[in-house]
């Protein structure tokens, strides 16, 4: 398979680059390569009992994978309610942006 654009990393930067390219230039063949796991498989093994600290996984479930370091954002810095946490569910959309 040949691509016009290859994006390395499916963090917010990679995902939105691909999204904008698809919107503005649908004929462009874009591939996004990500070394980490899919969202569903991003589970840190630290459970506080058996695994108490970092065991240096090949790719870090917290920092790497689809969604990048922002996938499990704690949402304390909100620039939008559309992604990056669910603070708005607790205090409302307007207050969360304020
Ligand atoms: C704990 C924490 C809390 C945060 N909280 C907030 C918040 O509340 N609000 C906010 O706005 N921001 C927050 N941030 C910041 C936000 O997560 C980052 O600004 C954002 O993730 C940066 O996006 P990025 O796409 O540039 O990089 P990243 O998110 O780092 O994505 C890069 C991706 O590239 C992949 N990659 C790297 N090298 C390769 C390779 N050679 N091959 C394949 N894949 C590769 C990585 O696995 C990763 O998935 C937080 C960050 C952290 C760590």
What does DSSP assign to residue 82? S
Question: Could you tell me if the CB of 16 is within 6 A of ligand 1?
Answer: no
Closest to 68 measured CA to CA, from 39, 30, 31: 39
Structure tokens at 52: 């108490």
The whole-angstrom separation of Cα 91 and Cα 87 is 7
Residues 6 or more apart in contact with residue 62 via CB below 8 angstroms: 42, 44, 69, 72
pLDDT at 10 over 70: yes
What is the value of pTM for the model shown?
Answer: 0.82
Higher local confidence (pLDDT), 26 or 87: 26
Residue nearest atom 26 in ligand 1 by C-alpha distance: 13
Question: Could you tell me if the CB of 67 is within 6 A of ligand 1?
Answer: no
Average pLDDT (23-34) is 98
Question: Could you tell me if the CB of 35 is within 6 A of ligand 1?
Answer: yes
Give the pLDDT confidence of 57-94 residue by residue, as tens digits.
999 999 999 999 988 876 667 778 887 678 899 999 99
Q: Which of 7, 10, 11 to mutate to test ligand 1, by most ligand atoms within 8 A of the CB atom?
A: 11
């Amino acid at each position: 398979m040949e691509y016009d654009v290859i994006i390395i990393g499916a963090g917010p930067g990679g995902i939105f680059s691909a999204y904008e390219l698809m919107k503005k230039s649908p004929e462009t063949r874009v591939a996004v390569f990500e070394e980490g796991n899919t969202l569903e498989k991003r589970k840190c093994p630290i459970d506080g009992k058996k695994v108490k600290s970092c065991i240096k996984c090949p790719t870090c479930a917290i920092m790497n994978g689809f969604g990048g370091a922002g996938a499990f954002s704690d949402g304390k810095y909100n620039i939008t309610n559309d992604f990056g946490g669910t603070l708005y569910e607790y205090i409302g959309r307007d207050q969360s942006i304020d």
